[in-house]
Amino acid sequence: MIKAIIWSITLLFSFSYSITLQEVIKLAEERATQIKLSQLDLQKVQAQIKEVKSNLYPKIVLNGNYSRIDKNLNTGFTLENQYRASISVIQKVFDKTVFESLKYAKQSIKLQKAIKNQIKTKVIDTAQRLYFAVLLRKSILGLKKETLNYWKKNLEYTQEKFNVGLTNKFNLLRTKAQYNLALSDYKQALSDYKKALIDLKRFLFLQEITPPQEDLKKLSFKKIDFSKIEKKNPELLVYKEKINVAQKQIDVAKATNYPTLELQAEYRTFNTIRFPELKEFWLKGYTISLNFNFVIYDGMQKKSKIIQSKIDKLKEELNLKDKLEKLKGEYEKILEDINTLETKLEALKINLEASKEALNLSTERYKYGLTDIIEVLDSQRAYDEAYIQYLLNLYNYDMKVFDLHLLTGYEF
């Protein structure tokens, strides 16, 4: 059983090719469902622009009609078979709502692009965090493997000493118990590592994934001025575009106060009866008309729409102001957390080195019979705890760096 576990983890780390952070980001951009949905929304808005533009082009309408009148209804002054045909060209000469609607649609594209960028940023951020979660579990797994090997050697050594009467049964049993505990911890760490890989694999829509070779490391930290966050933060950019869209919506509502002018040219033909001969003949001809339309009073409907549009814009401006204040607070807290974690990491690194040295000394003392297994257990446990605490704080530090970079949409 032990050999099978050792073989499986060796296989995991034995690939000559392994996935990297850059490949994870690339795959996330290509495969994430949220980005694909956002792209479809963008295409929909582009189609809406074409729909609005269609109002600027002339419309050509072809119409045909055939009617047959029952003989019982025919008075002799109408035809049994009546035919009508016409072709019309209709062109809007002036309609301010069309032009404002076109500006609104174009502004909506900018909004959708900002939303797509926001989604893309979050997808990249999630992919990186999942990747670093794999690195964390990989590092913990490496520690547990090292601990398992350590107690395996100790068990073999204690068993040999017990066989020749150089140690008591208590030391042997405690060593066996610690070895089994180390084996259990190793299996749990292996399971956690595999589950972290599964999370990353599912997020990238991959059937299989090659485990990364690199280890968890401290990300470089570069302080970012808040002015850059104000310019680059994806959420703020979305709010700003929403305000611009709301303004265009106000302009569209105001445009309904303007009159409209439409030109229509029509050529038509139909059969009829000529009087007094009562003979069938065809009439042909064209008409040209200008249609002017101006609503003087509509029961305050236009004014109500303008008021509603202004309220929508005001709400977006309040949302932007609220988000800006929240980001300032987040920015300040992230910087405090990074500074605190950086100081703590230095202390934990020193503590880890001291714990490692204490374990080495305890191991040597035990080999020479200068102490019992209890001291070794305490030293080894202290080393494991110091190592894991260091890894967790290193991981938390990296997550805070990601938090900072997320504020600027990873543009730094």
Residues 6+ away with beta carbon under 8 Å from 384: 143, 147
- Mean of the per-residue pLDDT values of the chain: 88
Q: pLDDT exceeding 70 applies to what percent of the chain?
A: 95
Q: Give the residue from 112, 90, 96, 110 showing the smallest Cα distance to 37.
A: 112
pLDDT of residue 411: 66
CA distances from 282 to 52, 123, 279 (A): 39, 69, 10
Structure tokens that stand for 176 in this block: 């066996």
pLDDT digits (tens, 9 = 90+) for 379-400: 889 999 999 999 999 999 999 9
pLDDT of residue 76: 67
The verdict on pTM exceeding 0.85 is no
- Burial degree of 163 (CB within 10 A; 0-12, 13-18, 19+): exposed
Q: Which residues of 285-309 are buried (b: 16+ CB within 10 A; e: fewer)?
A: eeeeeeeeeeeeeeeeebeebbeeb
| Residue 270 host element (H or E) | strand 260-274
CA distances from 293 to 95, 143, 296, 305 (A): 10, 81, 10, 20
CA distances from 68 to 3, 63, 277 (A): 94, 17, 21
> Which SS3 state, helix, strand or coil, does residue 39 take?
helix
pLDDT digits (tens, 9 = 90+) for 59-106: 999 999 999 888 777 776 778 888 999 999 999 888 899 889 989 999
pLDDT of residue 70: 82
pLDDT digits (tens, 9 = 90+) for 177-196: 999 999 999 999 999 999 99
What is the total residue count of the chain?
412
Sorted by where each starts, the structural domains of the chain and their CATH numbers stand as: 2-31+99-258+303-407 (1.20.1600.10)
Res. 1 pLDDT band, cuts 50 70 90: very low
Alpha-carbon distance 242 to 248, whole Å? 10
**What's the count of helices (H) and strands (E) in the chain, helices before strands?**
9, 4
Residue 335, pLDDT > 80, answer yes
Res. 7 pLDDT band, cuts 50 70 90: very low
Residue 240, pLDDT > 70, answer yes
Res. 366 pLDDT band, cuts 50 70 90: confident
Q: Which residues of 131-150 are buried (b: 16+ CB within 10 A; e: fewer)?
A: bbbbbbbbbbbbbbbebbeb
> Which SS3 state, helix, strand or coil, does residue 166 take?
coil
